[in-house]
Structure 1
Amino acid sequence: MSSTTVVNVGGSGTKVKAKDCIADCVSGSMNIGVGKTSFACCNTDRCNFQDAPDPSIVPNGKMCYSCDDKSCSNILRCSGSEDRCFKASGTLGGQSTVVKGCVSKSICDAETSVRDIQEASCCSGNLCNGVQSVSQSFLFLCCSLLSFILLH
């Protein structure tokens, strides 16, 4: 598996690339507003020498809700292969958190579970992942994304 994540916080962007061996890998991308990740999978020895492509920024017409430190009513424009909206809730550092955004169907269809995620769901209509107010910090959202990526 190879992944490329672009995180934008406070107007500055950071790119993180990761490579690993994992049992259940799914190619596609995920976008939670403050961060966007693309995954590339392969199944031969040392096949992940190439980086996953930078996440696409070309809008595809799909719209989903995303969360920030104030609410989960932000409208996010999906791009590339992100054809589903998702909502995940769980516990991080003993505090309840909600993450929403855009995701590729292949990632929704994966049967991999992630530690500390109690509930995750995908849907296919525009803005189908609902509006809900939350009270977690921006840092929690970024940590949730990175935990999902690294533990996936």
Structure 2
Amino acid sequence: MALQIISVLLFTVFFSKALTLVCYNCLTLVPPGTCKQTANCSSNVGCNSITIYNGSNIGNNNWCANSSSCDNWSITLGRIRRSSLCCTSDLCNKATASDSENGLMCYTCNDIHCSNTQTQKCKGEENQCITTTVNVNNIISKGCASQNFCKNSTLWRNALLSSIVGNSILPNNVLLNNSQFQQLSMSSVSCCGANLCNNAPSMAQEAVLLLVPVLSSFLSI
């Protein structure tokens, strides 16, 4: 009987260890690939690596993430890029998303209402051009995003809004405290998969274009 109890205990110990996932765990930003701290995670999670690039500096967060929210995605808005890699083997979350250009080009904004745009080259899995509008001052942002980011609305709030605020797209006279930031929401998010497809003309621009042939006919009289 005692031998059976010992056998059950040993099986339980070894089985629970087999179900435990070991992930790198650095909750503050560190240079990519330098996280040394680890954590034992439960069986229903994945190892997550979040990479943040602000145009001059790049950093990583590494942690255990719930499997329902752990996903691979990437988004670039101007000079700000955020990407996530999720994996399910021990210490797999040291890698970062691909930084290689993939051939897609999208428009990005130079001001909060996107009246002035420029093009940017998309990287890695960013196979969609994205356009977003925030409910504060109707702030518009454009850039590159991965398809699964566009389809997963639960990612929009923290990743997208943090990118917008971090990209200094908010005007200087708009200062947000934590409570106000939590109230931010996306009025709209749209994605498309062709080169420079996220530059739909404004109503004013469309009106001007419609008037061109009319004005030409008058000038030709």
**Same fold by TM-score greater than 0.5:** yes
Match of 1:100 among 114, 128, 142: 142
Q: TM-score with structure 2 length normalisation?
A: 0.48
Tell me what 1:2 maps to: 49
Aligned to 2:164: none
Tell which structure's C-alpha radius of gyration is larger.
2
Trace 1:1-152 onto structure 2 (pairs within 5 A).
1-8=48-55, 13-19=56-62, 21=65, 23-42=68-87, 50-53=93-96, 55-56=98-99, 58-69=100-111, 71-91=115-135, 94-112=136-154, 113-114=156-157, 116-130=185-199
Provide the residue aligned with 1:144 in structure 2: none
Give the Cα–Cα distance (whole angstroms) in 1 for the partners of residues 138 and 148 of structure 2: 26
Give the deviation of 1:43 after TM superposition.
5.5
Residue matched to 1:136: none
Q: Name structure 1 gaps, 5 residues minimum.
A: 134-152
Q: Equivalents in 2 of 1:14, 1:131: separation in Å?
A: 32
CA drift of 1:131 comes to: 5.3
Aligned length: 124
For residue 80 of structure 2, what is the amino acid of its counterpart?
Answer: G
What secondary structure is seen at the aligned counterpart in 2 of 1:108?
helix
Conserved? CA contact 1:3–1:51, under 8 Å? no
What code does the residue aligned with 1:79 have?
A: K
Which residue of the partner structure matches residue 145 of structure 1? none
Code of the residue aligned with 2:52 in structure 1: it is T
What is the identity percentage for the equivalent residue pairs of Structure 1 and Structure 2? 28
> Take 1:48 and 1:87, find their aligned partners in 2: how far apart are those partners?
35
Partner in structure 2 of residue 138 of structure 1 = none
Q: What stretches of structure 2 of length at least 5 have no aligned partner? A: 1-47, 158-183, 203-221
Please give the secondary structure, in 1, of the residue aligned with 2:138.
strand
Residues 108, 122 of structure 1: 8 Å contact kept: yes
**Root mean square deviation, CA, Å:** 2.6
In the aligned structure 2, how far is the partner of 1:48 from the partner of 1:130?
A: 41
Higher normalized helix content (fraction of residues):
2
Name the SS for the 1:82 alignment partner.
Answer: coil
Higher relative contact order (CA 8 A, sep 6+): 1
